[in-house]
């Protein structure tokens, strides 16, 4: 669900900056969760157009299979394909987008991936219509896969080079991904547009003392966001001094024996698992925390990922303890912005827990510098995107 925050909030704030914004997306699909409340704050002045699709998730929905995880079909169809399982959306999206461009005299199109196949729509519009096209990358499309001799890896690189050669510009979700994409952009600059938080939903953090040291994670826990190393360190930290604390896990647990781990490590009595919550309710629960958690595995394919949740955490004004590789997008981000710490070993996690707990005992709360918090509002990122689009339109 994190991926929807980027186009939704950038559209909202571009509209406020005076842009005429039109949104094109797919009709309802089969997915494990949805959150209609996200539209409650979306400007009514932005028209949203939906079109059909021949992708598996849309077809499953039409067959009445409404609640399905992406892995139920997508991962079985796309691992050996150059493209992704959403390729069936492309002809529908192109046909509708072409009509919208003509009807509303649209000057610039911004396509955001994943799925990477959505950029085929922008590419085709660029070739057939006199529009400016900017391609956005929220994830690296696995073009940095660790099998450089595989034909799939090489084919994806060639597709990426071709797309970026036609695009008027590209945006990336973090600096590490930006630097990587520039290798394929033929000398063209790629601009970082970070994810962010909505300042209208995240009011400035006001320090208040809490009675219980609370650690919190927001989002899905799965093999890509596995907390086991952290839980081992937490159990060790607890045992060393019989510390009292609360571990709050807000979100779904998919494919992990979490209940078994918590019992095995002696953490069950300290832990609360809420399950999936609508976005604003999840933020309300997370706002009770003193320290936020982020988990990213060491595999190469996650090296360029910077989870969007870190910006929601920043918006809530508390520091982040990230369990992630020592090299990669998360490490680069935390080295550039003092909003938390990076831990890649059990020992480092224990030491960081000790540090943050001592700070909490001394002052009753933890917070990040307001200057660091303020810089990542969606309004700020929309201003950067607006400036980029204006500069590209001047050259078309």
Same-domain status, 189 and 252: no
Same-domain status, 144 and 185: yes
Same-domain status, 368 and 389: no
Task: Tell me the C-alpha to C-alpha distance, in Å, between residue 285 and each of 44, 130, 273, 311.
Answer: 28, 47, 11, 16
Whats the size of the chain, residue-wise?
A: 396
Q: Summarize the confidence of residues 202-223 as an average pLDDT.
A: 82
Helix axes 309-316, 279-286, angle to 10 degrees: 50
Q: Tell me if 205 is assigned to some domain.
A: no
> What is the reported pLDDT for 327?
94
Same-domain status, 48 and 97: yes
Same-domain status, 389 and 247: no
Cβ burial 293-313 (10 Å sphere, 16+ → b, else e): bbbbbeeeebbbbbbbbbbbb
> What is the reported pLDDT for 155?
84
CATH number at residue 172: 3.40.50.2000
**Least confident interval from 64-78, 137-151, 267-281, 343-357:** 64-78
Same-domain status, 141 and 269: no
> What is the reported pLDDT for 188?
79
d(CA 179, CA 181): 6
Same-domain status, 149 and 25: yes
Same-domain status, 163 and 47: yes
pLDDT digits (tens, 9 = 90+) for 33-76: 788 888 888 999 999 999 999 999 999 999 988 766 555 544 44
Instruction: Mention every residue, 6+ apart, whose C-beta is less than 8 A from residue 348.
Output: none
The tally of domains found in the chain comes to 2
What integer best gives the mean pLDDT of the chain? 90
Q: Tell me if 208 is assigned to some domain.
A: no
Q: Structure tokens of 286?
A: 């997370």
Same-domain status, 152 and 65: yes
> What is the reported pLDDT for 32?
74
Task: Tell me the C-alpha to C-alpha distance, in Å, between residue 358 and each of 245, 352, 354.
Answer: 13, 10, 6
Q: Structure tokens of 281?
A: 């309710």
Q: Tell me if 331 is assigned to some domain.
A: yes
Q: Which domain holds residue 269?
A: 214-374
Helix axes 90-104, 119-128, angle to 10 degrees: 50
Same-domain status, 219 and 187: no
Q: Tell me if 204 is assigned to some domain.
A: no
d(CA 126, CA 132): 7
Percent of the chain scored above 90 by pLDDT? 72
Task: Output the pTM of the full model.
Answer: 0.91
Task: Decide if 232 contacts 353 (C-beta within 8 A).
Answer: no
Of the pLDDT bands very low, low, confident and very high (cuts 50, 70, 90), residue 151 is: confident
Q: Tell me if 201 is assigned to some domain.
A: no
Q: Tell me if 209 is assigned to some domain.
A: no
Same-domain status, 370 and 382: no
Same-domain status, 251 and 164: no
pLDDT digits (tens, 9 = 90+) for 338-391: 999 999 999 999 999 999 999 999 988 899 988 999 999 999 999 999 999 999
């Amino acid at each position: 669900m994190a991926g929807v925050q980027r186009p939704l909030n950038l559209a909202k704030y571009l509209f406020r900056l005076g842009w005429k914004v039109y949104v094109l997306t797919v009709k309802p699909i089969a997915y494990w969760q949805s959150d209609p409340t996200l539209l409650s704050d979306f400007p009514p002045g932005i028209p949203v157009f939906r079109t059909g699709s021949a992708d598996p998730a849309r077809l499953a929905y039409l067959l009445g299979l409404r609640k399905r995880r992406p892995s139920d079909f997508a991962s079985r169809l796309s691992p050996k394909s150059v493209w992704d399982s959403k390729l069936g959306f492309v002809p529908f999206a192109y046909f509708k987008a072409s009509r919208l461009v003509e009807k509303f005299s649209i000057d610039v199109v911004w396509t955001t991936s994943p799925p990477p196949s959505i950029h085929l729509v922008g590419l085709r519009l660029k070739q057939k219509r006199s529009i400016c096209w900017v391609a956005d990358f929220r994830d690296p499309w696995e073009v940095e896969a660790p099998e450089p001799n595989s034909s799939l890896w090489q084919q994806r690189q060639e597709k990426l080079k071709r797309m970026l050669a036609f695009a008027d510009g590209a945006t990336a979700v973090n600096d590490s991904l930006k630097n990587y994409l520039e290798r394929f952009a033929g000398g063209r600059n790629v601009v970082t547009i970070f994810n962010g938080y909505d300042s209208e939903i995240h009011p400035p953090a006001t320090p208040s003392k809490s009675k219980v040291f609370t650690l919190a994670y927001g989002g899905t826990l799965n093999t890509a966001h596995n907390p086991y190393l952290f839980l081992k360190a937490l159990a060790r930290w607890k045992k060393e001094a019989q510390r009292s604390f609360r571990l709050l896990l807000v979100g779904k647990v998919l494919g992990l024996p979490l209940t078994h781990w918590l019992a095995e490590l002696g953490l069950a009595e300290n832990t609360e698992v809420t399950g999936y919550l609508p976005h604003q309710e999840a933020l309300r629960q997370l706002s009770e925390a003193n320290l936020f958690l982020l988990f990213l595995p060491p595999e190469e394919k996650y090296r360029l990922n910077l989870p969007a949740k870190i910006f929601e955490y920043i918006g809530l004004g508390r520091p982040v303890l990230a369990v992630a590789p020592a090299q990669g997008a998360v490490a680069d981000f935390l080295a550039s912005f003092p909003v938390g710490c990076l831990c890649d070993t059990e020992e480092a996690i224990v030491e960081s827990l000790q540090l943050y707990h001592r700070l909490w005992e001394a002052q009753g709360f933890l917070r990040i510098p307001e200057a660091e918090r303020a810089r990542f509002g969606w309004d700020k990122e929309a201003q950067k995107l607006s400036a980029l689009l204006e500069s590209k339109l001047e050259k078309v």
